[in-house]
Homo-oligomer: A and B are copies of this chain.
């Protein structure tokens, strides 16, 4: 996987969460995924297809962080992950993949996006299935952790 692909997703995720929810996430070091696993309570995933490469993006949130993002965006949040929260995570997934798509376009890589899917379930794990390398970026905040994972094959 082209390492140029990493920063657009990292930057888009930071921008979206900071702009929409005024939460500043602290990114950890992007890692090749071997033992590290994206694990959380709600995830948005989306497929991306281009001439030069195809792949997938996932955003995974711990519950407390997802509910805090919801609270900061809408002024209120439920106590648990419900349909409103999954809709919000789907929208965030569209925004992050859209932001990354624009930045990748400036680098000469054009992608079309599929539609997002949101997964809810305590402590679920996400595995991208591809011949390409998997990159996972952990994020910390005072409300809990998030993971961005990308995988592209050329």
For A56, the chain B residues whose CB sits under 8 A away are 47, 114-117
Indicate if A112 sits at the interface (CB-CB under 8 A): yes
Indicate if A105 sits at the interface (CB-CB under 8 A): no
Residues 115-151 of A, flagged 1 when their CB comes within 8 A of B and 0 if not, give 1111111111111111010000000000000000001
Q: Which of A83-132 contact B (CB under 8 A)?
A: 83, 86-87, 90-91, 93-94, 112-130, 132
Indicate if A64 sits at the interface (CB-CB under 8 A): no
- Quick one: copies of this chain in the complex? 2
Indicate if A153 sits at the interface (CB-CB under 8 A): yes
Indicate if A46 sits at the interface (CB-CB under 8 A): yes
Is A126 in contact with B117, judged by CB distance below 8 angstroms?
Answer: yes
Is A128 in contact with B117, judged by CB distance below 8 angstroms?
Answer: yes
Q: Which residue of B lies closest to A83 (CB)?
A: B127
For A128, the chain B residues whose CB sits under 8 A away are 115-117
For A129, the chain B residues whose CB sits under 8 A away are 44, 86-87, 90-91, 93-94, 115-118
Chain A: residues with CB nearer than 8 A to chain B?
Answer: 43-49, 54-56, 58, 83, 86-87, 90-91, 93-94, 112-130, 132, 151-153
